[in-house]
């Protein structure tokens, strides 16, 4: 007889992203419809078609790690560590009080330590192989972020990275939930992290012609999902981390519960390396799977936090996929892309947007899609343009779609005893 799956609840949140280095500042930015996009400051962008990005600002890792340790971590790991420690504190969890064997870390990451890789290439080509920094490999490998967090917090359970491009975080959250549902963990740190605003990162996406360039002189207007004048996404960075717990475990310790995990869907378009399936085949299936695993129908979803990248292909295809998966309810459900404010955090996007989804439920608030001045005719649903609004939200779907045809869909719902 199949064992009944345990309920999974969300008890802690932590983030570092272009709108704020903590959840409070980030959520205030989202609710006010503020853009975190600006001109790139880390290197000279004179030769780059795209000159803007969603940089994390005023980030000070010395508040949680000493300078020696910070030098041994790439930026993507530092973002993850900062967000994870905030989430643990928010959840009121003391690592020493946990059963270390039932405590794990599953994070999503798309690219790894690109900054460290570029630094190593510079030393290799300019100074020779013996001058490659000693910690290059441990700094750049994508699994090192959860590894470092596990070392810091003594999480002996499942510890790994999910790498599925822009759906990495969503898939990681789904994976983390399974460990709890199946009875092998009580507490999981999950979400995602990314730090790809580097010369290679910006340059690589520029040659793919995927980045927004039309609004270099007005960065705050550049990310415009579903708008007819959109011309690409804005590369961003940061981390979004959630604490998942077994409901009975959380209840026993008197934890504050933000929301409940409903279900996740993970599929592949199996169609093209960088373009979505023209009919949204994989996204449709992933939405249906997530709803099925949550035991819900399309009509139960009040809000969809869309992938909404601000590219011509994604926005039209995602709209088409939502229509196919939701039927007539597609015209009733509210949808928005908070990437209009944060830019695209790539492997961290699903974690950051899961936090948005949780807080939307808590505050009964539909976040806006800013810069939606005139919708593309192919994008004809309710995307909550310009200003967010309050309303009833019992369940949210969060969509993440990535290169390689990856689709990661989450369903989160209001917690009820």
Q: Which element (helix H / strand E) includes 23?
A: helix 23-32
Q: How far apart are CA 57 and CA 20, in angstroms?
A: 8
Please name the residues in contact with 402: beta carbons below 8 A apart, sequence gap of 6 or more. 110, 164, 165, 166, 167, 168, 408
Sheet with 259-268: list strands edge to edge: 159-162, 103-108, 187-194, 238-246, 8-16, 259-268, 406-413, 395-402, 303-305, 334-336
Instruction: Identify the active-site residue in 159, 206, 277, 344.
Output: 344
Instruction: Identify the active-site residue in 166, 206, 345, 379.
Output: 166
Instruction: Identify the active-site residue in 159, 206, 307, 406.
Output: 307
159 is catalytic: no
Please name the residues in contact with 355: beta carbons below 8 A apart, sequence gap of 6 or more. 13, 15, 23, 26, 27, 191, 240, 242
Q: How far apart are CA 400 and CA 344, in angstroms?
A: 11
- Residues, the chain, total? 417
**Cα radius of gyration rounded to whole Å, the chain:** 20
Ramachandran class of 104: left when φ > 0, alpha when ψ lies in -120 to 50, beta otherwise = beta
Q: How far apart are CA 258 and CA 274, in angstroms?
A: 35
Neighbours of 129 (CB within 10 A): 9
The residue with tokens 């967000």 is 83
Instruction: Give the residue from 379, 404, 375, 366 showing the smallest Cα distance to 321.
Output: 379
307 is catalytic: yes
Q: Are 266 and 286 in contact (CB under 8 A)?
A: yes
Q: Which residues are catalytic?
A: 166, 307, 344
């Amino acid at each position: 007889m199949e064992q009944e799956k345990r309920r999974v609840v969300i008890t802690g949140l932590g983030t570092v992203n272009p709108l704020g280095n903590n959840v409070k500042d980030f959520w205030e930015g989202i609710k006010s419809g503020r853009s975190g996009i600006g001109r790139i400051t880390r290197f000279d962008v004179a030769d780059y078609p795209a000159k803007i990005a969603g940089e994390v600002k005023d980030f000070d890792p010395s508040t949680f790690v000493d300078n020696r340790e910070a030098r041994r971590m790439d930026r993507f790991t530092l973002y993850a560590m900062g967000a994870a420690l905030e989430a643990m504190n928010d959840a009121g969890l003391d690592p020493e009080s946990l059963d270390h064997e039932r405590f794990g870390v599953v994070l999503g990451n798309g690219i790894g330590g690109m900054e460290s890789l570029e630094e190593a290439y510079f030393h290799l080509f300019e100074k020779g192989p013996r001058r490659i920094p000693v910690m290059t490999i441990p700094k750049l490998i994508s699994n090192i972020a959860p590894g470092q967090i596990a070392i810091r917090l003594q999480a002996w359970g499942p510890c790994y990275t999910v790498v599925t491009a822009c759906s990495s975080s969503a898939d990681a959250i789904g994976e983390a939930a399974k460990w709890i549902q199946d009875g092998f963990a009580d507490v999981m740190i999950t979400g995602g992290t990314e730090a790809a605003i580097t010369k290679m990162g910006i340059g690589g996406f520029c040659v793919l012609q995927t980045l927004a360039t039309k609004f270099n002189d007005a960065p705050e207007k550049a990310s415009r999902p579903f708008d007819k004048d959109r011309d690409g996404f804005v590369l961003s960075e940061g981390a979004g981390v959630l604490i998942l717990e077994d409901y009975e475990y959380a209840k026993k310790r008197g934890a504050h519960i933000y929301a409940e995990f409903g279900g996740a869907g993970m599929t592949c378009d199996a169609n093209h390396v960088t373009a979505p399936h023209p009919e949204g085949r994989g996204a449709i299936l992933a939405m249906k799977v997530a709803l099925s695993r949550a035991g819900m129908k399309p009509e139960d979803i009040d809000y969809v936090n869309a992938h909404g990248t601000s590219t011509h292909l994604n926005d039209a295809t995602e709209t088409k996929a939502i229509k196919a998966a939701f039927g007539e309810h597609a015209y009733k459900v509210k949808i928005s892309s908070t990437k209009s404010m944060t830019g695209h955090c790539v492997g961290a996007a699903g974690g950051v947007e899961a936090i948005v989804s949780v807080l939307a439920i808590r505050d009964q608030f539909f976040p806006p899609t800013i810069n939606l001045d005139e919708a593309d005719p192919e994008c004809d649903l309710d995307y909550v343009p310009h200003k967010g609004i309050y309303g009833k939200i019992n369940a949210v779907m969060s969509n993440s779609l990535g290169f390689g045809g990856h689709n990661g869909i989450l369903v989160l719902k209001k917690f009820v005893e």
